[in-house]
């Protein structure tokens, strides 16, 4: 249950040479959050500025479209960072909802508190760059997949690169993350079986 702190301390040492013993001011301001499956982490309209590291479980970020349907923006799982980007980047109430798909353990910190700590302890700054770059890398990869690949190709890549994900996440969320309907995803699966089984 404390592996995340080990991981992050190791990261801070690798990035900036900060010894685990010197990370107390940072981790003193973090707190553990446990959520059950289907429990909401961040509500629509929530103004809190949360940054979290996922120890275990899967989180889904989505929004409600004008027509009332949900659109899944992304999924994040153990070992990844998740942030309320509307409140942190745009300083606006969140248009997105963050909900646990499985029981989840998070190590969270308030972004404003983190900024205060960084003023006093600039030696932690590389950690902020790290998670910003990680989130940027993730979004750029998604963008790339949308301009270079068809929905079927995006799904095939998901199956080969993140196989456990499709076993842990309901297909309708996978579909909307790929930018298609669940009906289309079913057809893609059928086409893939047809090609493979021949």
188 binds, among DNA, a second copy, none (CB under 5 to 8 A by kind): DNA
User: Which of residues 129, 171, 186, 191 is near a second copy by CB under 8 A?
Assistant: 129
84 binds a second copy, rule: CB under 8 A: no
Q: Is 82 in the site for a second copy (CB under 8 A)?
A: no
Q: What letter does residue 43 receive in the DSSP assignment?
A: -
The least distance separating DNA from the CB of residue 148, rounded to whole angstroms, comes to 11
Q: CA 172 → CA 31, 90, 128, 183, distances in Å?
A: 32, 29, 33, 9
Q: Which of 150, 157, 161, 162 binds DNA (CB under 7 A)?
A: 150
CA dist., res. 93 & res. 44, Å (int): 7
**Would you state the structure tokens that stand for residue 46, as one six-digit string?**
């929530």
Identity of the residue, 21 or 147, whose beta carbon is nearer to DNA in the bound complex: 147
Q: Which residues of 115-148 are buried (b: 16+ CB within 10 A; e: fewer)?
A: eebeeeeebbeebeebbeeebeeeeeeeeebeee
Of residues 58 and 178, the one with the C-beta less far from a second copy:
178
**Among residues 2, 37, 47, 89, the one that binds a second copy under rule CB under 8 A:** 89
State the nearest-atom distance from the C-beta of 80 to a second copy, in Å: 15
Q: How far is the CB of 144 from DNA (least distance, A)?
A: 15
Site for DNA in 155-184 (CB under 7 A): 170-172, 179-184
Backbone φ and ψ of 109, nearest 5°: -145, 150
- Enumerate the H helices of the chain as residue ranges: 3-16, 24-27, 85-89, 111-120, 125-148, 151-161, 163-168, 171-178, 182-197
Binding residues for a second copy, rule: CB under 8 A, are: 63, 65, 71-74, 85, 88-90, 122, 125, 128-129, 132-133, 135-137, 139-140, 142-144, 146-148, 176-177, 179
Binding residues for DNA, rule: CB under 7 A, are: 150-152, 170-172, 179-191
């Amino acid at each position: 249950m404390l592996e995340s702190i080990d991981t992050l301390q190791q990261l801070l040492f690798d990035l900036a040479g900060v010894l685990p013993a010197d990370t107390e001011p940072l981790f003193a301001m973090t707190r553990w959050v446990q959520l059950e499956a289907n429990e909401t982490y961040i509500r629509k309209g929530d103004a809190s500025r949360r940054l979290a590291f996922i120890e275990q479980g899967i989180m889904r970020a989505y929004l409600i479209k004008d027509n009332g349907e949900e659109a899944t923006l992304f999924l994040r799982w153990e070992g990844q960072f998740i942030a309320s980007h509307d409140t942190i980047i745009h300083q606006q109430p969140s248009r997105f909802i963050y909900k646990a798909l499985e029981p989840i353990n998070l190590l969270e910190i308030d972004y404003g508190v983190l900024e205060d700590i960084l003023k006093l302890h600039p030696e932690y700054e590389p950690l902020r760059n790290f998670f910003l770059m990680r989130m940027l890398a993730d979004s750029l990869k998604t963008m790339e997949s949308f301009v270079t690949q068809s929905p079927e190709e995006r799904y095939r890549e998901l199956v080969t690169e993140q196989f456990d994900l499709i076993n842990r996440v309901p297909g309708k969320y996978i579909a909307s993350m790929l930018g298609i309907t669940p009906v289309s995803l079913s057809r893609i699966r059928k086409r893939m079986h047809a090609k493979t089984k021949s």
